[in-house]
Amino acid sequence: MNRVIVGLLTLFVLGTLAFGWYARHSRRPRAALRTMVLGLIGMNSLGILLGAAAIALSLIQPMPAFAQEPGATSALSGGTIGAGLATGLACIGAGIGVGIAGAAAIGAITEKPEILGRTLIFVGLGEGIAIYGLIISFMILSK
């Protein structure tokens, strides 16, 4: 499971870098920015699906019996739900932020195409929120 999480985090980072490179070297900045925003929203959707999968996995785990010792609880009961909520809610917030910033960036680029680099920074800052949620879920799952 840890390999899958590391692989998906690598996919997030490499995808964001690839979209940025494509937008920077494209001859059509409006189309490149639109492609980048849609790709980032797609990666946020993947994060939401991962959060939902983590919640589903936590619900599948057997509940501890009442006769168990006080320290013998299931390791994935509340932590997995918390990790799923951290990732899912952060990705929803990042998707909203990227949507608003991307729409404003496309409007600004139509008026002044030379500010493409600055607008990409604001779209990337919105995407950072999803990565923060993913890091918090890793911290929750590692305990």
Q: How many independent structural domains does the chain possess?
A: 1
Q: Is residue 50 part of a domain?
A: yes
Dist CA 142 CA 114 (whole Å): 44
Q: Please work out, in degrees rounded to the nearest 5, the angle formed at the alpha carbon of residue 41 by the alpha carbons of 46 and 84.
A: 35
Q: Is residue 13 part of a domain?
A: yes
The enclosing domain of 114 has a CATH number of 1.20.120.610
Report the chain's terminal Cα–Cα distance, integer Å: 15
Q: Is residue 68 part of a domain?
A: no
Domain encompassing residue 108: 2-62+75-142
Q: Is residue 67 part of a domain?
A: no
Tokens representing residue 127 in the block: 């995407």
Where do the H-state alpha helices sit in the chain?
2-25, 29-60, 78-111, 116-142
Q: Is residue 69 part of a domain?
A: no
Quote the pLDDT of residue 69: 58
Q: Is residue 45 part of a domain?
A: yes
Quote the pLDDT of residue 76: 53
With left for phi above 0 and alpha for psi between -120 and 50, is residue 109 left, alpha or beta?
alpha
Residue the block writes with tokens 């918090």: 136
pLDDT tens-place values along the chain, 143 residues long: 556 667 767 777 777 777 777 777 777 777 777 777 777 777 777 777 777 777 777 777 766 655 555 555 555 567 788 888 888 889 888 888 888 888 888 899 889 989 888 888 888 888 888 889 889 888 888 87
CB atoms within 10 A of CB 45: 13
Asked whether the beta carbons of 118 and 79 are under 8 A apart, the reply is no
Rg (CA), the chain: 19
Q: Is residue 123 part of a domain?
A: yes
Amino acid at 76: L
Tokens representing residue 131 in the block: 């990565």
Q: Is residue 113 part of a domain?
A: yes
Quote the pLDDT of residue 111: 92
